[in-house]
Amino acid sequence: MDQFLLSSPSHKPLPSAPFAESKDPHAAKPAPRILVVDDEALIADTIVQILSRNGFIAEAAYGGQEAVERARIHCPDLVLSDVLMPHIDGVEAAIQIRGLCPDTRIVLFSGQAATVEILARAQKRGHTFELLPKPIHPTQLIKHLRE
Amino acid sequence: MDVKSPTSETAPNSTLTLEERLHRLVAEGLLPANEATFAAVLDAARQYGEACQSQTAVRLSFALESGQLGTWTWDRATNMLDLDERAAEIFYVKPHTPIDRSALRDLIVAPEHRSLTADGLQQSLETGSLYKAEYRVLRPANFQPPPNANLDAPPFRWISTSGIPTFKPGTREITGMIGTIQDTTLRKQHEETIRQTEKLAATGRLAATIAHEINNPLEAVTNLIYLCKTDPEIPPLAQRLLEMADSELARVSQIAQQTLGFYRDTTRPIEIDLNVLLEAVVDLFARKLFSKKISCSLDLAPNLRIFGLQGEVRQVFSNLLVNAIDATSSGAIRIRGRHRTCRDCKGVSIIISDSGSGIPVHVRQKLFAPFFTTKESVGTGLGLWVTRGIVEKQGGSIGFRTRTEHPSGTCFRVFLPAESSETNVLSTPQTQVLQ
């Protein structure tokens, strides 16, 4: 989504230090580093912006494979991933990331009924993931991620 | 007996009577011209014929039994029907008591099928062809069921009947009909179940497609509005407008989840404060209540807590409140919550009552069935079905009381156990029609 101009481009590398100027009460702790994964770039980019404004250090990935590659380089504290994506879907990526980064919290979000079946398959392989509905209001998303 | 009685020498055997054939055998010298022998052969042949006939009758009766078929005969001149025992039972009448065909039709054939049976018969009489019809018959109000009757049987049957015309010997004149009749209710019910399942599957696919198509853009727009309204440089007026856009969008998201009814909460069960949840649900519909000038009062005992899936429990009360609002033209909706123990299971009972016109008798039994709606074009017929599914999954129960006479209204009662559903699933049917 090149035409979509965001004030803070999501492609920039992760800042090396937490936002010192943030007024967020949680800023006292090191800001959680979140990898936001969605094949719809507009959704990934807007969530990255929202989270960045609320005391997280967020970065976008636009597919499952890309998410796994990012995690391989540097484990985030949290991965927020869409489920149904082409090539490697969110559940498959989540399972791979969990193998690479056992301490990373993984939250999936999806607007599809079929997601439940996909999660059931993951469960058979011994993996359970948190799942949030899509659409989710940003305030609820932030609240959930801070829990 | 004149054993030498002449017979036509040229007639083929098949056109002769038994006696004539014996005479021919005597004439041909194949049978002695002896009266006693003649009588003995004739007698043996008759007995053999009767045995064959009786064997055919036995076979026919077994065939009818195995096909669960009843038989009937109809006399065109008198318009009287004669029914055997099974046919009479299927038709809700006494066996072997001739009954006027038209009177029987008026008595039991479902109004929507009366012309079908009459037209089918007429066509068969005009063409001399097979009569075949499948239709519904309704149990007459004054019908006395036999002692062994299944009291839970529905007050109607689907039947399949067929018959062939009988002719006046040697002519094309139809004098009546002989036919069979079969109760096909079970088959019809199975067909109906299959149809419903197919509808359900199709709706599921449709819902999944719609969910996919609209949930992503909804997410994106929600995020964009949030980013705009939280921008510190936005003027206060624009900010207020964006707040409104945000809350309208929240309604769209809620409606999408609710009308599709396929939102399944897979987060872990948590402790839910029903006092907070119910207030939030009422708040969500504040605008709708206000526009219909309906008041909604909450009378909740303190500390109504249960353990369950929050999104789904919210859906249950949203669905029931929407129904209550739709049923009420003006007046009040009351929501009452109390701590209750149901079958040794501690929990919470929530009653949502409206002052609508009540639920008509014919609607009550179908209320929780999928695709059953009284809201014509605006209803999906899935609301209460989904609601019941969620309540039962939580290990709870749902029932209703309704009154169509003044003062009319309906109240739905939901019982939800306080503990987790896994440890608390009731084994008996949980849906009760309280009235």
What value does the mean pLDDT of chain B take?
83
Q: What pLDDT score was predicted for residue B422? A: 43
> Which tens digits make up the pLDDT trace of A76-86?
999 999 988 88
- Interfacial residues of B (vs A; Cβ cutoff 8 Å): 204, 207-208, 211-212, 214-216, 218-220, 222-224, 226-227, 230, 250, 253, 257, 262-264, 266-267, 311
Are A50 and B253 an interchain contact pair (Cβ–Cβ within 8 Å)? Answer: no
Q: Rounded mean pLDDT of A128-134?
A: 84
Q: How confident is the model at residue B421 (pLDDT cuts 50, 70, 90)?
A: very low
Q: How confident is the model at residue B413 (pLDDT cuts 50, 70, 90)?
A: very high
Q: Which two tokens stand for residue A105?
A: 């919290």
Instruction: Report how far residue B384's alpha carbon sits from residue B315's, in angstroms, rounded to the nearest whole number.
Output: 10
A137 touches chain B (CB under 8 A): yes
B224 vs A contacts (CB less than 8 Å): 46
Consecutive H or E run containing B241? helix B236-260
Does residue B160 surpass a pLDDT of 60? yes
B222 vs A contacts (CB less than 8 Å): 135-138
Closest-CA residue in chain B for A144?
B267
Q: What pLDDT score was predicted for residue A121? A: 75
> Which tens digits make up the pLDDT trace of B26-54?
888 887 777 888 888 888 888 888 888 88
Maximum mean pLDDT: which of A9-13, B60-64, B73-77, B378-382: B73-77
Does residue A7 surpass a pLDDT of 60? no
> Which tens digits make up the pLDDT trace of B2-11?
555 555 566 7
Instruction: Report how far residue B73's alpha carbon sits from residue A39's, in angstroms, rounded to the nearest whole number.
Output: 72
- Could you say which of A47, A116, A136 has the minimum Cβ distance to residue B264? A116
Does residue B367 surpass a pLDDT of 90? no
> Which tens digits make up the pLDDT trace of A93-105?
999 999 999 999 9
List the 2-31 stretch of A: residues with Cβ below 8 A of B.
none
Residue (of B189, B188, B183) closest to B89 by Cα position: B183
Q: Rounded mean pLDDT of B358-375?
A: 79
8 Å CB contact between A81 and A47: no
Instruction: Report how far residue B388's alpha carbon sits from residue B128's, in angstroms, rounded to the nearest whole number.
Output: 54
Q: What pLDDT score was predicted for residue B380? A: 62
8 Å CB contact between A101 and A76: yes
- Among B128-142, B264-278, B329-343, B413-427, the range scoring the smallest mean pLDDT is B413-427
Q: What pLDDT score was predicted for residue A1? A: 39
Does residue B232 surpass a pLDDT of 70? yes
Q: Which two tokens stand for residue A118?
A: 């996909």
Does residue B187 surpass a pLDDT of 50? yes
Are A47 and B227 an interchain contact pair (Cβ–Cβ within 8 Å)? Answer: no
Instruction: Report how far residue B69's alpha carbon sits from residue B120's, in angstroms, rounded to the nearest whole number.
Output: 20
Mutate to test the interface with B, among A23, A40, A46, A141 (most CBs of B within 10 A): A46
Q: What pLDDT score was predicted for residue A113? A: 57
Closest-CA residue in chain B for A123?
B266
Q: What pLDDT score was predicted for residue B257? A: 67
Q: Rounded mean pLDDT of B294-303?
A: 92
Mutate to test the interface with A, among B200, B203, B206, B216 (most CBs of A within 10 A): B216
A138 touches chain B (CB under 8 A): yes
Q: Rounded mean pLDDT of B269-291?
A: 86
A111 touches chain B (CB under 8 A): yes
Q: What pLDDT score was predicted for residue A116? A: 65
Q: What pLDDT score was predicted for residue A12? A: 42
Instruction: Report how far residue B371's alpha carbon sits from residue B384's, in angstroms, rounded to the nearest whole number.
Output: 10
Q: What pLDDT score was predicted for residue B18? A: 79
Maximum mean pLDDT: which of A12-16, B134-138, B270-274, B375-379: B134-138
Span between the terminal Cα atoms of chain B, in Å: 81
Q: What pLDDT score was predicted for residue B378? A: 58
Q: What pLDDT score was predicted for residue B267? A: 55
8 Å CB contact between B337 and B350: yes
Does residue B398 surpass a pLDDT of 60? yes
Q: What pLDDT score was predicted for residue A19? A: 39
8 Å CB contact between A130 and A90: no
> Which tens digits make up the pLDDT trace of A22-68?
455 555 678 899 999 999 999 999 999 999 999 999 999 999 999 99
Q: What pLDDT score was predicted for residue B179? A: 94
ipTM: 0.79
Q: What pLDDT score was predicted for residue A11? A: 43
Q: Which two tokens stand for residue A17?
A: 């230090």
Q: What pLDDT score was predicted for residue B235? A: 94
> Which tens digits make up the pLDDT trace of B104-120?
999 899 998 988 888 88
SS3 of residue B294 by DSSP: strand
Q: What pLDDT score was predicted for residue A126? A: 85
Does residue A144 surpass a pLDDT of 80? yes
What value does the mean pLDDT of chain A take?
81
- Could you say which of A50, A113, A138 has the minimum Cβ distance to residue B262? A113
Q: How confident is the model at residue A14 (pLDDT cuts 50, 70, 90)?
A: very low
Q: What pLDDT score was predicted for residue A115? A: 66
Q: Rounded mean pLDDT of B67-94?
A: 91
Are A133 and B263 an interchain contact pair (Cβ–Cβ within 8 Å)? Answer: yes
Are A40 and B222 an interchain contact pair (Cβ–Cβ within 8 Å)? Answer: no
Q: Which residue has the higher pLDDT, B78 or B257?
A: B78
Q: Rounded mean pLDDT of B67-90?
A: 92
Q: How confident is the model at residue A111 (pLDDT cuts 50, 70, 90)?
A: confident
Instruction: Report how far residue B178's alpha carbon sits from residue B172's, in angstroms, rounded to the nearest whole number.
Output: 16
Q: What pLDDT score was predicted for residue B262? A: 46
- Among B163-167, B198-202, B318-322, the range scoring the smallest mean pLDDT is B198-202
Does residue B213 surpass a pLDDT of 90? no
